[in-house]
């Protein structure tokens, strides 16, 4: 799965020159940010603005047509009304661009007339050997080259291991803004597909499989080309984890998808079985998608589904045990762990089926974290640890205590790299955010609820056990 030395699709991520057709001076128009972003981000390639209505756009010369540009153009980004798109595509064919991203909507997703327009565009592009992304997409993002075609404001791009394939503009827009501002990981590529009239999910998947920066691939799709996609996914999932949010699970959702990107519904149970076969981790929601992606970026797949709950609070421990069991995880403490911990407790206390840190803390103070984590992580009967963190410390000492906990957890993770550790912190907002910041800074995923911790561990364990079965068959 080495990156092909050269792919036709490279032009969508690292063009040497790009023209924004429909570039605008008006920040309320969709044509504004595709140009502004490239200027703001310091994209190193050549940038051209095309709009016959203006002399200049955002301080640049505005060309009447792409064919008026004196140099070659690799990629054209088109933001003009749907009925104007065919003539712009013909211009692009004449200009011999390599790729086109079409933002405009009003095609297949809006009935027969739109479908005819879309077919016309595709014919023109194919005849000229041009690859086409969209229509009805915000296109691509590639932080490594400070490049994006999106119409969402994008002041800063953070490089990282996660790539998206998405059949909605959300991922090239608001979703990555959310990630950049609230997560510790960055993005390798976003491949927005829209109506997929040419480049589709299978080709995108193949491209990202060969991209050395991409470690985890998350997909939002409203439809897939069945056999072809699943065969590719089965191949790719052996090397890189694949997460899929497929909308249209319900009849109503299917109808909604049809009006969004012209996608057709398939029976969800059949689709689900195909995902399992192909090693795809299926999720229901953006949150689940990011929860799982974060775990896969930061942690190994666990060897199995045995979880030890370690909790600073009794109530939190009970809820965590319950949540793990409901999610099909095996939860409890081994005889060895009980025997290690029992002598360290005050006389009145006894070890239950989760590790309650409070009595331990009464006896051994801050050593508690080291002892507790060492005991459960060194335990051969433990695959995952769910740590419920409540900070009972004098207010002004919280950063110090958190720093200490971070060091301890981080050291133990390095010592036991095969084990998965996830954390749920509870307290006031500032402390919760500080905990998230510190712990995710050293690769320990933090989730905002016990339920989500348990769900993530369960998803990881199911994938791990599923893959094991697949490879032994």
Residue 231 or 251 having the CB closest to a second copy: 251
Residue 286 interacts with a second copy (CB under 8 A): yes or no: yes
Span of 14-22, 334-342, 345-353, 411-419 interacting with a second copy by CB under 8 A: 345-353
Residue 364 interacts with a second copy (CB under 8 A): yes or no: no
**How many residues line the site for a second copy (CB under 8 A)?**
96
Residue 2 sits at φ, ψ, to 5 deg, of -70, 150
Binding mask 139-158 for a second copy (x = CB under 8 A): ------------xxx-x---
Which residue in the block uniquely carries the two structure tokens 């984890």? 241
Span of 61-69, 269-277, 297-305, 353-361 interacting with a second copy by CB under 8 A: 353-361
CA distance 302 to 470: 16
What's the closest the beta carbon of residue 6 comes to a second copy, in angstroms?
A: 32
Give the torsion sign (CA, 105, 110, 114, 118).
positive
Q: How many CB atoms lie within 10 A of CB 193?
A: 28
What's the closest the beta carbon of residue 96 comes to a second copy, in angstroms?
A: 29
Span of 178-186, 204-212, 297-305, 412-420 interacting with a second copy by CB under 8 A: 178-186
Which parts of 323-342 interact with a second copy (CB under 8 A)? 323-326, 331-332
Q: CB within 8 A of 462, min separation 6: which ones? A: 305, 328
Asked whether 127 and 93 are in contact (CB, 8 A), the reply is yes
Residue 74 or 118 having the CB closest to a second copy: 118
Residue 394 interacts with a second copy (CB under 8 A): yes or no: yes
What's the closest the beta carbon of residue 472 comes to a second copy, in angstroms?
A: 29
Binding mask 253-272 for a second copy (x = CB under 8 A): x-xxxxxxx-----------
Residue 343 interacts with a second copy (CB under 8 A): yes or no: no
Q: Of residues 1, 270, 392, 468, which one binds a second copy by CB under 8 A?
A: 392
Which parts of 48-77 interact with a second copy (CB under 8 A)? none
Residue 114 interacts with a second copy (CB under 8 A): yes or no: yes
Residue 17 or 223 having the CB closest to a second copy: 223
Give the up-direction half-sphere exposure of residue 81: CA atoms within 13 A in the CB hemisphere: 2
Asked whether 89 and 124 are in contact (CB, 8 A), the reply is yes
Asked whether 402 and 438 are in contact (CB, 8 A), the reply is yes
Residue 318 or 470 having the CB closest to a second copy: 318
Asked whether 438 and 406 are in contact (CB, 8 A), the reply is yes
**Crossing angle for the helix pair 450-472 and 314-326, nearest 10 degrees?**
40
Asked whether 139 and 101 are in contact (CB, 8 A), the reply is yes
Residue 1 or 392 having the CB closest to a second copy: 392
Asked whether 185 and 442 are in contact (CB, 8 A), the reply is no
**What does the DSSP 8-state code read for residue 194?**
T
Give the pairing of strands 60-63 and 420-426.
unpaired
What's the closest the beta carbon of residue 177 comes to a second copy, in angstroms?
A: 4
Asked whether 267 and 249 are in contact (CB, 8 A), the reply is no
Q: Of residues 429, 471, 472, 473, which one binds a second copy by CB under 8 A?
A: 429
Provide, for the chain, the percentages of residues in helix, strand and coil under a 3-state DSSP scheme, each rounded to the nearest 5: 45, 20, 35
Span of 3-11, 64-72, 84-92, 347-355 interacting with a second copy by CB under 8 A: 347-355
Cis peptide before 135, with omega less than 30 degrees from 0?
yes
Span of 42-50, 297-305, 319-327, 415-423 interacting with a second copy by CB under 8 A: 319-327
Binding mask 189-218 for a second copy (x = CB under 8 A): ------------------------------
Dmax (CA) of the chain: 86
């Amino acid at each position: 799965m080495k990156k092909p030395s050269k792919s036709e699709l490279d032009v969508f991520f690292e063009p040497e020159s790009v023209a924004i057709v429909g570039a605008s001076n008006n920040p309320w128009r969709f044509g504004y940010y595709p140009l502004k972003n490239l200027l703001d981000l310091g994209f190193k390639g050549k940038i051209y603005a095309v709009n016959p209505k203006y002399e200049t756009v955002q301080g640049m010369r505005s060309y009447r047509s792409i064919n008026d540009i004196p140099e070659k153009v690799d990629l054209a980004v088109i933001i003009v009304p749907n009925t104007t798109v065919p003539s712009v595509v013909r211009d692009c064919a004449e200009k011999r661009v390599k790729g086109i991203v079409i933002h405009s909507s009003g095609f297949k997703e809006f009935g027969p007339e739109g479908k005819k327009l879309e077919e016309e565009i595709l014919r023109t592009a194919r005849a000229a050997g041009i690859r086409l992304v969209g229509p009805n997409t915000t296109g691509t993002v590639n932080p490594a080259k400070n490049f994006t075609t999106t119409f969402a404001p994008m002041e800063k791009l953070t490089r990282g291991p996660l790539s998206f394939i998405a059949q909605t503009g959300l991922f090239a827009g608001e979703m990555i803004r959310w990630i950049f501002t609230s997560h510790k990981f960055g993005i390798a590529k976003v491949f927005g597909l829209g109506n997929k009239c040419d480049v589709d999910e299978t080709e995108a998947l193949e491209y990202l499989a060969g991209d050395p920066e991409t470690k985890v691939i998350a997909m939002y799709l409203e439809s897939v080309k069945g056999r072809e996609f699943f065969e590719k996914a089965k191949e790719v999932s052996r090397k890189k984890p694949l997460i899929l949010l497929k909308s249209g699970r319900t009849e109503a959702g299917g109808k909604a998808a049809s009006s969004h990107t012209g996608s057709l519904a398939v029976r969800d149970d059949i689709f689900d079985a195909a995902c399992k076969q192909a090693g795809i981790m299926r999720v229901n929601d953006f949150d689940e998608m990011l929860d799982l992606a974060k775990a896969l970026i930061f942690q190994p797949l666990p060897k199995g589904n045995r979880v030890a709950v370690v909790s600073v609070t009794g109530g939190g421990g009970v809820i965590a045990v319950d949540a793990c069991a409901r999610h099909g995880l095996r939860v409890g403490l081994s005889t060895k762990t009980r025997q290690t911990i029992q002598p360290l407790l005050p006389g009145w206390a006894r070890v239950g089926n989760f590790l309650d840190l409070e009595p331990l803390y009464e006896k051994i103070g801050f050593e508690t974290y080291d002892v507790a984590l060492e005991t459960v992580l060194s335990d051969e009967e433990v695959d995952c640890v769910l740590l419920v963190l409540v900070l009972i410390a004098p207010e002004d000492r919280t950063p110090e205590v958190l720093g200490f906990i971070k060091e301890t957890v981080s050291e133990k993770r390095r010592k036991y790299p095969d084990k998965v550790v996830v954390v749920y912190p509870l307290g006031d907002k500032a402390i919760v955010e500080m905990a998230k910041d510190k712990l995710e800074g050293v690769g320990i995923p933090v989730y905002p609820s016990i339920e989500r911790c348990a769900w993530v561990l369960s998803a990881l364990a199911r994938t791990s056990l599923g893959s094991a079965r697949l490879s032994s068959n």
